């Protein structure tokens, strides 16, 4: 398994663990948090980050500044990825691919149990093709030298946490699979729903697919208007569409993309590794379709993105201070206050390239993708999560705590 793929699985599993009270996968949890912080603080160029900014970025990534951050910083220093200083740290310039590689290295070099290696192995194996629980137990037992009783417990616990998915296919057998693969390959479920579409519903689906192929991303409201709410709900349930949410002081805004727009070029963990690019696409689509002209509505997306990708700064505009908070909290962009307005600089050019390619062509298959972003963003709801929650049009103001975090990240606590 490639190191960057392994690192992506560790970060994926680390996020799953954070949603539980489980303590059995401490090695994965530790390495995953190291990777999450490294992704948040690193960019294409070497950057200096104040201690105040560092604490804010840690909180934004569910890392305790007092209990966990000092240990993580010590590890990143040991890996020679940061240089400590008085009141600040110097972070080496790293691509997202390098962040994933370093995450895998941290996991390998830290103390952990063999069953933690086993769940990573099984996650990748079940992404190639679904595997029965009997074969899965045999695989990880032989490869990682763990008793079959422990392998069974590992399989059950990993499935409960969400490292991989399982489905009962007979009274004595379960199927272990990757969620992305399930959406593409579970012919029985998908076929039943698609075959039940009326001629008019099938035509509406064709229209939506053509629009997504052309534009890359559409508002959820526009898709539902074409398909109707019930039909969209059925198609969403089998993974035919991905729904992402971005939020700001005006409320929540939902956007639809096709899974294939992000996953054609890779055979594993595309949903998780590309969440940053998905968030950027959703934010850009918000800027082009929802935001008003007077707030700084995006007019020339290609010119704007090319300037950001080439290291330039865009703005000033009011909208920049609101629309990109999710990306800001993950270190994808840097928002700079400017006389009551805001300017923005892109810290992870590869994320911008992926986002622009999706906007331009509807997918990134034609792009030369070698560097995958590897962390989820705060205040961005990913497609995996939106499949599990009821979508509402309620307005939710930005919390004071979030405002304070953003202020610390933008100013380093100097204002």
**CA-CA distance, 372 to 374, in Å (whole number)?**
6
**Which CATH number is 1-112 given?**
1.10.10
Closest CA to 134 of 173, 179, 178, 166: 173
> Would you state the pLDDT for residue 413?
57
Closest CA to 370 of 36, 98, 37: 98
Token pair recorded at residue 104: 């895998």
Domain assignments of the chain as residue spans, ordered by start: 1-112, 115-186, 192-411
Question: What does the pLDDT profile of the chain (415 residues) look like in tens digits?
Answer: 888 888 888 988 888 898 888 888 999 999 999 998 998 888 756 778 888 889 988 888 889 999 999 999 999 999 999 988 888 888 888 877 788 899 999 999 999 999 999 999 998 887 666 678 899 999 999 999 999 999 999 999 998 888 887 777 677 878 787 665 444 445 355 556 667 789 999 899 989 988 887 777 788 999 999 999 999 988 887 667 888 776 655 567 788 877 655 543 233 333 343 566 767 777 777 666 665 555 555 556 777 888 888 889 988 888 788 777 777 877 788 888 988 899 989 888 877 877 777 666 554 433 333 332 222 223 445 555 555 443 333 233 344 555 666 666 666 655 5
**CA-CA distance, 388 to 22, in Å (whole number)?**
21
Scanning the structure block, which residue is given the tokens 């892109």? Answer: 346
pTM recorded for the entire structure: 0.57
Query: Is there a contact between 175 and 169 (Cβ–Cβ < 8 Å)?
Result: yes
Query: Is there a contact between 226 and 204 (Cβ–Cβ < 8 Å)?
Result: yes
> Would you state the pLDDT for residue 331?
79
Query: Is there a contact between 167 and 175 (Cβ–Cβ < 8 Å)?
Result: yes
Top-level CATH class of 115-186? mainly alpha
Burial of residue 317, with CB atoms counted within 10 A of its CB: 0-12 exposed, 13-18 middle, 19 or more buried = buried
231 Cβ contact list (under 8 Å, min separation 6): 197, 201, 204, 205
> Would you state the pLDDT for residue 310?
87
**CA-CA distance, 189 to 377, in Å (whole number)?**
31
Burial of residue 188, with CB atoms counted within 10 A of its CB: 0-12 exposed, 13-18 middle, 19 or more buried = exposed
């Amino acid at each position: 398994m490639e190191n960057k793929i392994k690192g992506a699985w560790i970060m994926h599993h680390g996020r799953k663990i954070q949603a539980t009270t489980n303590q059995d996968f401490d090695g994965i949890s530790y390495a995953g948090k190291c990777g999450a912080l490294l992704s948040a603080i690193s960019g294409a160029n070497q950057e200096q980050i104040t201690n105040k900014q560092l604490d804010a970025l840690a909180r934004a990534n569910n890392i305790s500044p007092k209990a966990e951050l000092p240990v993580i910083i010590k590890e990143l220093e040991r890996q020679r990825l940061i240089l400590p200083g008085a009141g600040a740290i110097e972070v080496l310039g790293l691509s997202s691919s390098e962040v994933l590689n370093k995450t895998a290295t941290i996991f390998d070099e830290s103390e952990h149990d063999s069953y933690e290696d086993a769940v990573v192995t099984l996650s990748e194996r079940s992404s190639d093709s679904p595997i029965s629980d009997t074969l899965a137990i045999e695989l990880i037992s032989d490869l990682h030298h763990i008793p079959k009783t422990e392998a069974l417990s590992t399989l059950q616990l990993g499935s409960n946490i969400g490292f991989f998915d399982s489905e009962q296919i007979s009274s004595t057998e379960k199927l272990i699979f990757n969620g992305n693969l399930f959406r593409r390959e579970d012919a029985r479920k998908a076929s039943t729903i698609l075959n039940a579409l009326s001629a008019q519903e099938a035509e509406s689906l064709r229209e939506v697919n053509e629009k997504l192929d052309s534009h890359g991303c559409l508002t959820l409201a526009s898709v539902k208007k074409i398909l109707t709410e019930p039909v969209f709900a059925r198609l969403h349930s089998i993974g035919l569409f991905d729904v992402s949410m971005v939020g700001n002081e005006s409320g929540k805004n939902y956007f639809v993309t096709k899974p294939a727009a992000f996953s054609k070029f890779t055979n594993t963990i595309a949903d998780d590794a590309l969440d940053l690019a998905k968030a950027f696409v959703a934010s850009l689509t918000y800027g082009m379709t929802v935001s008003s002209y007077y707030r700084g509505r995006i007019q020339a997306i290609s010119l704007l993105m090319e300037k950001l990708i080439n290291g330039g700064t865009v703005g000033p505009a009011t909208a920049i201070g609101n629309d990109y908070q999710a990306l800001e909290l993950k270190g994808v962009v840097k928002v700079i206050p400017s006389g009551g307005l805001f300017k923005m600089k892109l810290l992870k050019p590869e994320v911008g390239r992926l986002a622009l390619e999706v906007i331009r062509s509807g997918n990134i298959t034609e792009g030369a993708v070698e560097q995958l972003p590897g962390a989820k963003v705060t205040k961005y709801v990913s497609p995996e999560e939106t499949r599990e929650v009821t979508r509402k049009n309620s307005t939710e103001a930005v919390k004071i705590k979030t405002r304070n975090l953003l202020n610390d990240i933008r100013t380093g606590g100097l204002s």
